Amino acid sequence: NAGVMQNPRHLVRRRGQEARLRCSPMKGHSHVYWYRQLPEEGLKFMVYLQKENIIDESGMPKERFSAEFPKEGPSILRIQQVVRGDSAAYFCASYKTGGATNEKLFFGSGTQLSVL
C-alpha cells in the first residue's frame, strides 16, 4: 500500500525557470490537495483538486502558479518564472471521500523547492 508519492524530493531552480512538482495520491483516493510551508510558517492551503477538476484554488497566487490533476497520471503543481520567494516546502495530500466522519488527509513527504 504505497502512500502519497511526491517527486522530486528536492528541486533547485534558477530565477525565471519553471518548476514542476508531481504528486501521486494513495490508491483509491480521488482528491488531491497542495499546501505550501514557508520557512518558520505553517501549512498554507493552495488548491484542492478532483480528477480533471479544480474544486477550490482560493490559496493559489493569481499569477505564475497552476495545478492540474488529469484523468491519468499524477497531479502537477507548476510554477512558472520562479522567484526566490517561491522557495518553500510543497506538500501534497490525498483524500478519499466516503461520507465517514473520520476521513483525513494523507500527506506525502514533500518537495523542497530552492530558487537560486
Partner 1 sequence: DQQVKQNSPSLSVQEGRISILNCDYTNSMFDYFLWYKKYPAEGPTFLISISSIKDKNEDGRFTVFLNKSAKHLSLHIVPSQPGDSAVYFCAASATTSGTYKYIFGTGTRLKVLA
**Cross-strand partners of 76:** 22, 68
Interacting residue with partner 1 among 34, 65, 69, 95 (CB under 8 A):
95
Interacting residue with partner 1 among 16, 51, 55, 78 (CB under 8 A):
55
Pairing outcome for strands 111-115 and 10-13: parallel
Q: What is the rounded radius of gyration, in angstroms, for the C-alpha atoms of the chain?
A: 14
Is 116 in contact with 109 (CB distance < 8 Å)? no
Stretch of 11-19, 66-74, 78-86, 95-103 contacting partner 1, by CB under 8 A: 95-103
Interacting residue with partner 1 among 45, 68, 76, 114 (CB under 8 A):
45
> Nearest distance from residue 16's CB to partner 1, in Å?
27
Residues ≥6 apart with Cβ < 8 Å to 37: 43, 44, 88, 89, 90, 91, 110
> Nearest distance from residue 63's CB to partner 1, in Å?
21
What the block records as the C-alpha cell of 113 is 523547492
Torsion of CA 89, 66, 83, 112, to 10 degrees: 20
44 near partner 1, rule: CB under 8 A: yes
Interacting residue with partner 1 among 11, 19, 32, 35 (CB under 8 A):
35
Stretch of 13-21, 66-74, 77-85, 90-98 contacting partner 1, by CB under 8 A: 90-98
> Nearest distance from residue 57's CB to partner 1, in Å?
11
